[in-house]
Every structure is written in structure tokens, then in C-alpha cells.
Amino acid sequence: MADDGIRAQLETLYWWGVPTFFRAPHDEDPANCDIGVLGIPHSAGNGSTERDQHLGPRAVRGVSSHNRRPHAAFGIHAFEDVRVSDLGDVPLPEAMDNEACIDRIAACARAAADADTRLVSIGGDHAITGGVLLGLAGPGSRVTRDQPVALIHFDAHVDSYAQLPHWLGAKRSAAHWAAYLVESGCIDPSRSTQIGMRGAPRTTTWLKTSYDLGYAVRTMAECRAMGLQAMIDEAVARAGDGPVYITFDLDSLDPSIAPAVSNLEVGEGGFTIDEANLMLRSLRGLDVVGADVVCLMPTKDLPNDQTAMVAGHIAAEQVALIADRLLASRG
């Protein structure tokens, strides 16, 4: 056992001690925290890639203590200034049944919403966003005050393919969530923006499904042409004063930054980590009620766990955004 002085020296070393998300206390009751970090070890929503995205939460826990530090840009220490807990993992005994898993994810997210607790979820494939928002947002949600969220979606792909009856058997899949959440009243597309779409499209109408739903879409080429700051300022203005949810697919980053992701797009450069920081930090002040990081594939990672470290960093930025808003609201 380490005394407090020794512990302070060791707690930011990712290889020391028992891993939890950001060395936050492990407490499965969302009523005991302001921000709950939730592991969602789910792989059944994206059958087009190797099914090991369920290993993502464990991989991030293993390195995330490195990110338990003050946030220099915001001037806060989120993990000390507000109550942050590691809520554990969503139990998914029907792990290969996507629809059953989505229901269980939604139930866990609704428990957090009922406690007025904000969630940062770590996946898991991108189908998890569907489950989280079914529970966290819309009618009956205390944390969003019965409202749908404005979605701010960083990704190489739109994930709004409502024209497909299923994706390799999964109906509420990683390819469908951005569509069915609009239909279910959990996302307000008129306040939402999808950012960073790039790569070789499957069709010439690859963005039409999102446009038809009412999303604003900014492809990578458009982001570069208009400038990232102008683009993200536009997204902030569109989101307005209501509740906001941020979903961050690691494939929006350049493969040199995040090589271990489920759907690599290597034909066009993605965001750098500094660009991701700029965009996320420019969301400061929004009423972020939840966020997630998805599509980490630990078995494809480099020996130094680079992509897992990047995922932990993005999640820490999301925690800081939520904590900063909570602290500001308390005066």
C-alpha cells in the first residue's frame, strides 16, 4: 500500500496500480457522481470489421491514468473539481445479439439520466451511440429535460443509412444510429452537425441520407476549405443553448494518429490531434450532457498502445468540457 505522498507520484503512471478510467473511483451508482465514465464493450453492431471493439474499454482503462491531469486550456482539474466515477461496464450477456445489447445500453444510460448524471462512454463500435442516446435523451430524460440533443459528430462516415434494412444482420447498427435516433426523437437534426466525412464513398450520393434527415454535414474537404475554426463556430451556433451530445469516432483522425480503428480511411488525410483539440475545446460553454469515443480496435494497435492513449485523451477532453460547464453553472 502506498501513502498519500507516494500515491501522488505514482497515480499518473499508467502501468501502476489497479486500472479504472482516469483513476476515478469505481462506483456503479450514477447518483454518486456528476460525470460517469461508462465502459461499453460491444462489437455486434459493425460486422464488416474484425469483432474486437469490445476490448476498447479495457484498453483505455489500462492507459487512461496518464490523462488524469489538470486541463491547461480551461484552467480546471476535472477529476478533482467535480465528482467523476468509473461506472464499470454495461453488462452484455447477449454479446453477439446487437439488438439485445442496444436495449441493455439504453437501460444503463437511462439510469444515469434519471440520476441527472452526465455520461462519457467508451466503446465499443459506433452502434453504442444509439443505445446511449435512447436512454440519455428525449422524452422522459431528466438530464436533457425531455428534449432531444444536438449531435456534434466527428467521423469519416455519416452512419445514417436508413435505406438499409440491416447491416449484416444488425438493425440498430453502427451504420443506422444517426437515422433512427432522429426518428425516435432523441436527436434534433436541425441543431446537429456531422464533421470530417472523407474517403472513397460507396456511392455518389453518400451524404444524401444525412441531408434528407436535416443534418448539416461538413466533409473533410469543406472543413479544410472554410477553416476549422469557422466550421466549428458554425456548429456551435447551430447547436444553440439546448442539450448537446458529442460522438467521436476515432476514424475521423488521421491513420498516423489513430491506426487501430475499425474502418480506416487512408486515401485522404484525417484530423491531427491538435486539430481535434481545437475543435473539441471550441465547444466550451455548450450544455454537453454526454459524449462518447468509439471504434478502437486494441488488437490492431501499436505495441505502445498509441490509439488507446489517443482514445483516453479524447475522452479526457470530453470530461473536461462537461466539468467546465458544471463548474460555470455553479458560479
| pLDDT at position 1 over 60 | no
Angle 153-156-159 (CA atoms, 0-180°, nearest 5)?
Answer: 65
Least confidently predicted of 86-95, 188-197, 202-211: 202-211
Distances (CA, A) of 190 to 49, 55, 215: 31, 34, 6
| pLDDT at position 79 over 70 | yes
Highest mean pLDDT among 45-49, 105-109, 171-175: 105-109
Mean pLDDT of 37-54: 87
Phi-psi region of 80 (alpha: psi -120 to 50; beta: other; left: phi over 0): alpha
| pLDDT at position 325 over 90 | yes
Number of domains in the chain: 1
pLDDT in tens, 235-247: 999 999 999 999 9
| Percent of the chain whose pLDDT exceeds 70 | 98
Read off the CATH number of the domain in which 154 is found: 3.40.800.10
- Residue 200's pLDDT is 74
Mean pLDDT of 224-232: 97
DSSP for 12-54 reads: T-TTSS---GGG--B---GGG-SEEEEEE---TT-TTS-S-GG
Domain around 241: 4-329
Would you say 136 and 181 are in contact if contact means Cβ atoms under 8 Å apart? no
| Residue with grid cell 474499454, as numbered in its chain | 57
